[in-house]
Amino acid sequence: MEPWLLSTFHIGGELFRRLREEKRYYVDKTGLIEELFSANQPLVSLITRPRRFGKTLAMTMLQEFFDIQKDSRQIFEGLAVSRNARLCDEWMNHYPVVFLSLKNVEGQNFPHARDKYALLISRICAEHNGLFTSRNVGDEILEKLILLKRTQADASLLEDSLLLLCRALEAHWGKPAILLIDEYDVPINHSEQNGYYNEMIGFMRNLLGAALKTNASLKFAVLTGCIRIARENIFTGLNNFVCYSVSDTEYADMFGFTEAEVDRILADAKLSDKKPEFKEWYDGYRFGTNTEIYCPWDILTHLARLQKKTDDLPQAYWRNTGGNAIVRTLLAQSGKKTRTRIEALIEGKAVEENLAEDLTYDLVYKNENNIWSMLYLTGYLTKAPVQPGNGNTALVIPNREIREIFTTTVTAWFNESIGKQDLSPFVKAIWNGDAPAIQEALTRILYSTISYYDSSESFYQGFMAGLFNGTGLDPESNHESGLGRTDITIEDGLHKRAVIIELKYSHEYEELEKKAEEALSQIERKKYAASLPPHIRTVLTCGIAFWKKECCVKTASHNLSTEK
């Protein structure tokens, strides 16, 4: 990678002006501005996308383009929108703008969250400091602005704050204001998690109602978030309101990176040979009808790591940018049918669901249909390439990264659920060498959990290790012993005994018994028991073969003192 490019990638850069002035690498998304005006523009546009798909960067780009307080010609020079001279002449830096991001408006209780909003509005008032000396702003509005700036506003004034700012800006500039609200639904999501949902809903309904419904000083508004919140009537009464979700064709390629954009990035970074791994891990999102999109956060994060270590392997970076409670909740509420569907998704298959795109955070976790819809809207699932045409939506896991999130969450859930079960019959069967009882116990557990099949022993080794940990035993995996490594070894020094377990994966149900016999004979052939401590007198060898949720167990008992 050329040295000039190393410093141009800016991970998590959300400020458009800074990216441009510092000559950072920027994937041109200014077509969003033209698309805003390509059809009959609604008074209020809500664009919903998963986290880390460039919403905030897009909103700061809109702010820089429209804001009358700025001179943005230079930072837009050479970008797509600059070629539209008529649009630039009419709109660039011609309107007052109120931009606010609500992503940090949260707290352990409602007063704390509302105080966060008060601080945010205070900073925005400071950004428009000219209003406080303007001859055109009336005394009544000025007095209220001063209270907002000093964080002395009461609840009612806070709810009218955006309306008040728009009126003041129109009075000062002689033009209605453009309102840009980023991550509008974050305060509501946090309130649901912390127990003050109804209070926050009431506040947001009044805040947005005043700003968007009865605001004659509003030119237009753009909001972003993860979902459209419907049932709380936040947007009721807005006749000129349109929501553009991941299902809509509008703006489909304006958030995230397209295939062509990723090809260009990799070519510029001289890493085109890495394209297959980028595609496997971070591609696969389908917005609109079938626009294929890569997660931009992952692309830039992995590029940054490759700058330091060219053979660095891809990771699930998106997992660390927010909680994955939605997947955990689906598992916790899952019955047999849901577990089967999750297994199908992890295997790369599609599941059909009747999606609801108008959701409420308080009901998401109480209705399984809503959970599937939320998984789709927030990026854990995406549309399958082929749709059924029956009114349902076929959903798939988009890429390897999200599959990793599902599988690791499944593993954690399994280990927790195992800890709640009575495993004493299983432990007793192990120490007794009772193959039928071991097989029955394992089959029962396999049918009660979620499996993912990758044609290897890796899943089942983790499954067995988690199972033994749940019993309170201390299994050792891949212990070097004899002529190889054992899959699982358990020692019971008190009773001078041990268990050696070898696992096999069968591609066919009919081969289960044969594979179990192979596993058992491998323990003896490779002399796994030879490395056990001298005080161990008896050892149970156990060969287990798995095929999906079925297993076959073969055992043998050895008295080491007589054999030696």
Q: What pLDDT is recorded for position 361?
A: 75
- Higher pLDDT, residue 293 or 532: 293
Mean pLDDT of the chain: 88
DSSP for residue 507: S
CA distances, 182 to each of 45, 49, 229, 425, 481 (Å)? 12, 11, 14, 55, 58
- Higher pLDDT, residue 186 or 414: 186
Q: What pLDDT is recorded for position 341?
A: 87
Lowest mean pLDDT, pick from 2-6, 445-449, 454-458, 525-529: 2-6
Average pLDDT over residues 151-179: 97
CA distance 249 to 232: 26
Q: Mind listing the pLDDT tens digit for each residue in 319-378?
A: 766 666 777 777 777 677 788 888 889 889 999 999 887 777 777 767 777 888 888 998
Q: What pLDDT is recorded for position 41?
A: 83
- Over pLDDT 90: what percentage of the chain? 59
Whether pLDDT at 12 is above 90: no
Lowest mean pLDDT, pick from 29-33, 417-421, 463-467: 417-421
CA atoms within 13 A of residue 264's CA, in its CB half-sphere: 9
The region that residue 553 occupies, defined by phi over 0 for left and psi between -120 and 50 for alpha, beta otherwise, is: beta
Confidence of residue 233 (pLDDT cuts 50, 70, 90): low
Q: Mind listing the pLDDT tens digit for each residue in 366-379?
A: 777 788 888 899 89
Average pLDDT over residues 11-36: 88
Whether pLDDT at 56 is above 70: yes
Residue 192 makes CB contacts below 8 A (sequence gap 6+) with 361, 362
Q: What pLDDT is recorded for position 481?
A: 61
Longest dimension (CA), the chain: 104
Whole-structure pTM over 0.95, yes or no?
Answer: no
Q: What pLDDT is recorded for position 11?
A: 57
Q: Which residues pair with 178 in a beta bridge?
A: 97, 220
What does the radius of gyration of the chain's CA atoms come to, in whole angstroms?
30
Q: Mind listing the pLDDT tens digit for each residue in 146-163?
A: 999 999 999 999 999 999
CA distances, 93 to each of 65, 77, 78, 154, 555 (Å)? 6, 14, 17, 33, 79
Which alpha helices (DSSP H) does 69-185 contain, by range? 73-76, 85-91, 110-127, 139-149, 155-159, 161-173
Average pLDDT over residues 265-288: 94
DSSP of 34-100: HHHTSS---SEEEEE--TTSSHHHHHHHHHHHHBTT---HHHHTTSGGGG-HHHHHHHTT-B-EEEE
Q: What pLDDT is recorded for position 455?
A: 47
Q: What pLDDT is recorded for position 121?
A: 98
Whether pLDDT at 232 is above 60: no
Q: What pLDDT is recorded for position 230?
A: 67
CA distance 492 to 53: 52
Residue 504, number of CB atoms within 10 A of its CB? 24
Q: Mind listing the pLDDT tens digit for each residue in 110-152?
A: 999 999 999 999 999 999 999 999 999 999 999 999 999 999 9
Confidence of residue 235 (pLDDT cuts 50, 70, 90): confident
- In this structure, what are the phi and psi dihedrals at residue 505, rounded to the nearest 5 degrees? -110, 130
Q: Mind listing the pLDDT tens digit for each residue in 496-529?
A: 999 999 999 998 999 999 999 999 999 999 988 8
Whether pLDDT at 557 is above 60: yes
CA distance 222 to 45: 5
Lowest mean pLDDT, pick from 238-247, 357-366, 388-397, 420-429: 357-366
**Distance from the Cα of residue 32 to its chain's centroid:** 24
